[in-house]
Amino acid sequence: MLLVFLALAHHELMLFAAVGLALGSVDDFLIDIAYGCRRAWRSTMIHTRYPRMTTADLPPSLHPGTLAIFIPAWKEAEVIGPMLRHALRRWGQADYRLFVGVYPNDPDTLREVTSVAAGEPRIIVGITERPGPTTKADCLNRLWRVMQREEERTGARFKAVVLHDAEDVVHADEIRLFDFLIDRFALVQLPVLPLLAKGSLWSRMIAGHYADEFAEAHTKYLAVREAVGASIPSAGVGCAFARDALAALVTKGAPGPFDDSSLTEDYETGLRIADQGGRGIFVRIRDAHGQLVCTREHFPDSLDAAVRQKARWIVGIALSGWDRMGWRGGPMELWMRFRDRRSALAALILFAAYLTLLLWGLLGLFSLIHPMDWVPLSPMLIWLLRINVALMLWRFAMRALFVGRAYGWQQGLAAIPRTMIGNLVAILAARRAVFLYIRSLMGSPLIWDKTQHRFPEMERPEMELPEMDRKA
């Protein structure tokens, strides 16, 4: 009876996983086709007539202005000092101000920030009214109010607000690029390029799966979103918002434009700007030396940290984001919002698929000892399994291609086994996210569940990037 039950469970789980994987894979395949068509059209119709522009070709903005750089910091004493000094060196005499948000109960971070800010008028420190951790949006709203006071003091309005994290490695040309593009767009998003970790194989695998995902998402997925006319979500770093577009989001009595009850205020802000008619753009452009203008940073390289970070993303985008942002817009917008919110369901399907493989192995062992009758597979299920195998191989090829273009062919090949690491993180993160979301529905406040960060200057003072990062 036990074998019969396990065989039936194996069959039903296989059917559920096969259908779910097929739907998700077809969804991804459509994105691949859309990206391929867009790339082919641009290659034949645009790049054959006009040379590819670099930041060296950018004309000055017709309406130049000062940019406000918002950097929220909670427990960032180890990275905030090197990050600020690096940004000051990279951006030089560009027209910007750095607004750094710190908490009154985080004296180490405050000490690091004030030591760099001493005698540096471009750095303005904003201390939150409430002790941390609150949410990142609460800290950003505090910086918004500090920025408004600075505008009152100087009598000049800032042109745009740029978001960065305390561990970001910034590009020298991004200020000039934002100043030029924000004349025409309400939101400008640059690519994010994770730095590869050193250390143990496990650490490299954990951190590497972020590089794999961003290599595809910030090359293909955001480009397709823009091409089909859907909203461009902010990644929270390397993005600029037009000041007036943010001001339009401030409702009566609100402390600022960012929703301080959200865990993914950056993502939601991009969608809210689009809902109000603001246009966003995702920009991939290289500098005069051929390097991609992007934001680089270390992502978590431990399983616990990766699970906590991705659980926050799932809660903010897939679970509470469903309630908060709803379903609005045309067919393309609805498609993209579905893709944003499918992560929890995708994790369940992946879990069912791995459980199916486990049961298949167990039943295979039992059948060696005690002959058993397997539940016959229907022709439809057989075809689903064949389709899934073909689409899985296609996905592996696409992942290897995009990662290889960003980090070199060795990392492209390594991305294939790292897919299993990404699946493990996704499953564990979805489980944690569901519990966090249920707790929030029961009244438990959502707080800034941050991870420990590293800044590469502590490892390489000269800030030379490895060859594979320069090719991205």
Phi-psi region of 96 (alpha: psi -120 to 50; beta: other; left: phi over 0): beta
Q: pLDDT, tens digit, for every residue of 145-169?
A: 999 999 999 999 999 999 999 999 9
pLDDT in tens, 135-144: 899 999 999 9
pLDDT of residue 287: 94
Higher-scoring residue by pLDDT: 5, 249: 249
pLDDT score of 453: 72
Contacts (Cβ under 8 Å, ≥6 apart) of 380: none
Interstrand relation of 192-195 and 123-127 (parallel, antiparallel or unpaired): unpaired
- Whether the per-residue pLDDT at 416 is higher than 90: the answer is yes
131-154 burial code (b ≥16 CB/10 A, e <16)? ebbbbbbbbbbbbbebbeebeeee
- CATH fold of 55-309: Spore Coat Polysaccharide Biosynthesis Protein SpsA; Chain A (3.90.550)
pLDDT score recorded for residue 440: 80
Percent of the chain at pLDDT above 90? 73
Q: Calculate the dihedral angle through the C-alpha atoms of 19, 418, 310, 347, rounding to the nearest 10 degrees.
A: 20
Give the closest residue to 325 by CA, choosing from 266, 377, 398. Answer: 266
In this prediction, residues 336-341 reach a mean pLDDT of 92
With CA atoms as reference, report the closest residue to 106 among 79, 85, 133.
Answer: 133
Position 442 scores a pLDDT of: 81
Domain boundaries, the chain: 55-309
Reported pTM:
0.90
Angle at 346 between CA 343 and CA 349, to 5 degrees: 155
Question: What single-letter DSSP state applies at residue 262?
Answer: -
Q: Tell me if 426 sits within 8 A of 60, measured CB to CB.
A: no
Token pair for 420: 């299993």
